[in-house]
Chains A and B, each alone.
Chain A
Amino acid sequence: MVSQLAIAAVVGLGIGACLQKGRFCFVNAFRDLFAYKDTRVTKGVIAAVLVTMVFWGTAYQLGYYQGFWTPGWGLTGLVGGFVFGIGMTYAGGCASGTLYRAGEGYVQYWITLLFMGVGYVAFTAAFPTLQSTYFASLTFGEGVSLFEISPVPAGLLAIGVAAVATLVYATVLGREHADTAERATAASARPATIVGTPIVGLQRLAAGTRAYAAGVRDAWADPVAASKRPWDPRSAALGISVFALLWFTSVSIVGITGPEARWSGYLLSLVGVDAGSFTYWGSVLFRGAGVGLTVDMVMITFLVVGAGLAAYWSGDFSLRMPRKRRLPNAVLGGFAMGAGSRLAPGCNIGNIYSGLAELSVHSFIATIGIVAGVYVMTHWIYREVGCAI
């Protein structure tokens, strides 16, 4: 237990610092993609998922893992994910973004966290009804990870999926390049072919990677100054993946809103509420082991601390008071995130990051729901200035 607490501290501090330094924001990743076709953070998120997938697949194949998180799959992921996506876009921060910004000193995100807590409590109270009317009717199958059922060894499968994803990305990149080249020269030559496009994309990917590596080498020349500057999301992605591997081999997959929902029950039990008597807290979240402090709750607490320390080191920490007119964002956005993450179940980290990285069928559906929610809400927020996509 002591060693697990030490690992929780290391992983929490590490992930928190990487999130803060990389400004690793899942709302930004999709919102700015839809609003401005800005893909910088999106690439960081995809890189983190793919690298983690290869790490976890390999660790699973070699037997170094503590189990998957695979809730039953069905429309719950789509509905809950959609509510969560709406909530996180309105709040201006996802489950992980809210935590690391709380660490940076944003009072607004502490309020968001509080109302996420209200969402967990409301869900817990409604759970017995929801179980029969919602989960029973919208869940179609047992949750499963493709790592478990694939005849291909998990490590190879992960590398294969990552390779296919890279090739698809290279094709998109190559096509974009061909489009700009065509426009620039206005020539009649057709540069894009079925084979040529991915190759052009892969070349550009390689050039981007070389530029990134050179940037990292440069940063090493003065590591202290570089550590104070913001990081490339790819650096943050690599860092997060390493800490997630440590967590996967010693505790579990990385989750945020699950531990937060446990925190809500635990805190209520401290003020005298019999949280264990609620089905959702008692038998689902704490699995009948009694309402108490669990190691994943400790980890996400250290995540806030890690983000705070990283922000302080970078000169980015300050106590920031919210605008009154943004309180609805924190209140309604937080509530939608709390309730939506339970309806799915899972937040952006549970589903987009960990769930895709462990190839959980449930998370593919939930990811679609979350991204759809961000898409709809982005269009609403930008209704006056317009969206690119």
Chain B
Amino acid sequence: MPSIDDVIDSPDELDDEAAEDLYEAADLTQDMMGEVCPYPQVEAQKGLQEIESGDLLVQETDHVPCTENVPKAVGDDADASVWRSGDGVYRIYLRKN
């Protein structure tokens, strides 16, 4: 039985602890607070060009659609997961393939 997550094709969600640990271990962080579409997508693509395979890029954003758009935009270049704070702040974790 497919879940709604299969249907909307959203990236994996991280819990608070995993999100914090990964955030501290990130190789590149991008502050995307206040930025709206499509600039976080463009910056994510540029950021992935700067880091090595296996490295982690984290974007912190307050723009909801980015949690879906950015993973879509980077496609097969990175594995994506997201963390939702619950009060309008999100982090997008991109592990470069």
Contacts and interface: CB of A to CB of B under 8 A. Distances in A.
A321 interface: yes
Contacts of B39: 92, 326
Interface in A198-236: 211-212, 214-216, 218-219, 226, 229-232
Contacts of A92: 36-39
B41 interface: yes
A353 B85 CA distance: 34
Interface residues on B, range: 20 to 34
A226 B3 CA distance: 11
A315 B86 contact: yes
A361 interface: no
Contact of A326 (B3, B34, B41, B88): B34
Interface in B71-88: 72-73, 75, 84, 86-88
Contacts of B4: 215-216, 218-219, 226, 229, 232
Contact of B46 (A28, A216, A320, A385): A385
SS of B interface (majority): loop
Contacts, number: 104
Contacts of A326: 34-36, 39
Contacts of B33: 320
A385 B42 contact: yes
A212 to B, nearest CB: 6
A200 to B, nearest CB: 21
A316 B64 CA distance: 7
A381 B38 contact: yes
Nearest to B45: A385
Contacts of A231: 8
Contacts of B2: 211, 214-215, 218
B9 A40 contact: yes
List the 6 closest A-B pairs by CB distance, nearest first. A318-B88, A215-B7, A323-B34, A92-B36, A215-B4, A315-B86
Given A31-B38, A101-B36, 15 more contacts: A23-B68, A25-B37, A32-B72, A35-B73, A92-B36, A93-B37, A211-B7, A218-B2, A219-B4, A230-B10, A318-B87, A322-B36, A326-B35, A326-B39, A381-B42
22 contacts: A35-B73, A36-B73, A36-B75, A38-B73, A92-B36, A104-B64, A108-B36, A211-B2, A215-B2, A215-B8, A229-B4, A230-B8, A316-B64, A318-B62, A318-B89, A320-B34, A323-B35, A326-B35, A326-B39, A382-B38, A384-B42, A385-B42
